Chain A
């Protein structure tokens, strides 16, 4: 297998109005790489969630989000990074999970579903926090057209273990 990879990079103002532009870009790249409609829709949501985190939390004033896409034969890696200072990864990772329907409605959370969705919709997710936050999201290409089903919802704790398996 050749280790050929195509790289894309984009620098986008960290503003809500441009999240849709990133979504369209990723959609175009994934479509070109041969992904199914459902996989592309999953990636659109994941990348938008990552960008929304940057827009809402990374910068006190203005800044940029950096989008990189790496296309390999069997996978695509989508990286959303910022150079902000105000996001602590530990605070991002708190309370990740679906809605708890046993709770009274008044206690349901209105935020915090973003990272949970990224985790659920992508095959592999890594977060690093060196200068700013970078989220690396991987989706594998299933050429046989068989959809992979996510049975369990991975928690942030077993994510690393999952990453090592792959």
Chain B
């Protein structure tokens, strides 16, 4: 029931590797990690959710916030590696139509 976040930086891209469950308890941790990155002009922020087993509306809200922040600050937010369950929530809520999402596979950007 915990969340582990690792961040990797390259020139233009920041990749966040999220592991665990995103709920009301752990979401503030996620927000703290993502938001400052989306505030940088021109930054590509990739969030890797391959190891996220659970997410609910609190977590979805963090990504909506991050999307808003990226738009306001001219950065770009991208989610990758979503499993079927996590992807389903993004579809049900319609968030897949507004957020750049790549399902189930990791990109070799390391």
Instruction: Tell me if chain B binds chain A.
Output: yes
* A117 at interface, CB cutoff 8 A: yes
* Per-position binary interface string of chain B over residues 13-35, scored 1 when its CB falls under 8 Å from any chain A CB and 0 otherwise: 00000000101110000000000
With contact pairs A45-B56, A52-B58, A105-B71 given, residues A100 and B94 touching in the complex (Cβ less than 8 Å): yes
- Interface flags for B57-74 (1: CB within 8 Å of A; 0: not) read 110111011011001100
Which residues of A are found within 8 Å of B64, using beta-carbon distances?
99, 108-110
In the complex, what residues of B have CB within 8 A of residue A23's CB? 23, 54
A82 at the interface (CB under 8 A from B): no
Q: Tell me if B97 counts as interface (CB < 8 A to partner A).
A: yes
Chain A, 18-40, CB within 8 A of any chain B CB = 19-21, 23-24, 38
Interface size class of B (residues with CB under 8 A): 20 to 34
A-B contacts, CB under 8 A, total: 83
Asked whether, in the complex, the Cβ of A55 is within 8 Å of the Cβ of B24, the reply is yes
Of B43-51, B85-93, B101-109, the one contacting chain A is B85-93
Q: Which of A44, A100, A101, A106 touches B72 (beta carbons < 8 Å)?
A: A106
Given known pairs A49-B57, A101-B97, the reply for A120 and B21 (CB within 8 Å) is no
What is the interface of chain B mostly: helix, strand, loop, or mixed? Answer: helix
Q: Which residues of B contact A117 (CB under 8 A)?
A: 56-57, 89, 92-93
Could you name 28 residue pairs across A and B whose Cβ atoms are closer than 8 Å?
A: A16-B23, A16-B24, A19-B24, A20-B1, A20-B23, A21-B1, A38-B85, A41-B54, A45-B56, A49-B57, A51-B24, A52-B57, A56-B24, A99-B95, A99-B98, A105-B98, A106-B72, A109-B64, A110-B62, A110-B68, A111-B61, A113-B57, A113-B93, A116-B57, A117-B57, A117-B89, A117-B93, A120-B92
A interface residues with partner B (beta carbon < 8 Å): 16-17, 19-21, 23-24, 38, 41, 44-45, 48-49, 51-52, 55-56, 98-101, 105-106, 108-111, 113-114, 116-117, 120-121
